[in-house]
Amino acid sequence: MEISDIVAQAASEGRSILNEYEAKTVLKRHSIPTTEIKLARTLSEALKAAKEIGYPVVMKVVSPEITHKTDVGGVVLNIDSDEKLAEEYELMLKRVREAAGDVKILGVTVQEQVDRGVELMIGAIRDPQFGPVLALGIGGVFVEVYGDVAYRVAPVSRDDVLDMISELKGRKLLEGFRGLPPVDLEAVISMMLKISDMIIEHEEIAEMDLNPVIFRGSAGKVVDARVRIVA
C-alpha cells in the first residue's frame, strides 16, 4: 500500500492516528528499517504469521483506542512456540479486556523479536512557529520518566544529530554497557536523516512517535511506531 492510500483509508474512517502496522508500512516506504510485522485477526492467522516470521516473536494488541499497549497488558515478548502463542493469545485478549474495558480490538500484530540493544525514541512534530521539529531521546516504556530528549528544527544535518546525541544525559548508553557492543552512531544519523526527509516531504504527517527504536552495533530498527496525520 502507498502512503497516500494508508492516509486516505484512515481519514475515511475518521481516524487521525495510524496504528503500528500502518505506521511501520509508511516507514518501510521510506527505507526505514522496521521489525517484520504481520496483522492477524484470529489465532489461526497469528499462528500462520509466526510460522512465516519464525520464532521467537512478539505479539501486540491492535486497537484504535489503545495508545500505550504495555499499560493494558497488550505486549507479549519471547513467544517461542505455537503452544505458547496460542496460550498467550487468549490470555492477552482477556487481560486487555479487563484493563481497557469495552474497546474495539481489531486483532494482534505478530512481529519479529529484535535482540536486546539501546532503546532510543525518535519523534517528529510540526510546531506552529518553527515548523517540523525532530526529537531524539532515551526511549522505552519509561521515556516520560526520564525526559531525556534533544530537539532540532528539521531538516537536520549529520552534525546536528551528533550534537543532539551529545546533549543526552544517557549518551553513555550508546558507548556499550552490560555486554552490549557500542552503538555505531552512523546508524542513528542515517535513521534521523531519513525521518527528517520524511517529515519535510509529507505534509500530511502531523506527528511521528517512534519508541523504541532499538540500536545494537551498526543495526537500528523501529520496534514501535505511532503516526498522527493532519486531520
Ligand X SMILES: Nc1ncnc2c1ncn2[C@@H]1O[C@H](COP(=O)(O)OP(=O)(O)O)[C@@H](O)[C@H]1O
132 binds, among Mg ion, ligand X, none (CB under 5 to 8 A by kind): none
Cβ closest to ligand X, residue 71 vs residue 90:
71
Q: Which is nearer to ligand X, 50 or 156 (CB)?
A: 50
CA atoms of 66 and 110, how far apart (whole Å): 17
Q: Which does 196 bind (CB under 5 to 8 A by kind): ligand X, Mg ion, none?
A: none
Is the Cβ of residue 100 or residue 114 nearer to ligand X in the bound state? 114
- Work out whether 25 is an interface residue with Mg ion (CB under 5 A): no
Residue 35 engages Mg ion in binding (rule: CB under 5 A):
no
Q: Which of 21, 211, 227, 228 binds Mg ion (CB under 5 A)?
A: 211
Q: Of 72-80, 95-103, 195-203, 210-218, which segment contacts Mg ion by CB under 5 A?
A: 210-218
Residue 88 binds which entry of Mg ion, ligand X, none, CB below 5-8 Å type-dependent? none
- How far apart (Å, rounded) are the C-alpha atoms in residues 147 and 49? 36
| Binding partner at 69 among ligand X, Mg ion, none, C-beta below 5 to 8 Å by kind | ligand X
Residues forming the site for ligand X (CB under 6 A): 35, 58, 60, 68-70, 75, 77, 111-114, 119, 140-141, 212, 223-224
Task: Examine residue 224 and tell whether it contacts Mg ion (CB under 5 A).
Answer: yes
The phi, psi pair for 34, rounded to 5°, reads -135, 165
As measured in angstroms, the least distance from the Cβ of 157 to ligand X is 28
Q: How many CA atoms lie within 13 A of 49 on its CB side?
A: 25
Nearer to ligand X, 212 or 220 (CB): 212
- Of residues 160 and 220, the one with the C-beta less far from Mg ion: 220
The grid coordinates listed for 225 are 511506531
Q: Applying CB under 5 A, which residues contact Mg ion?
A: 211, 224
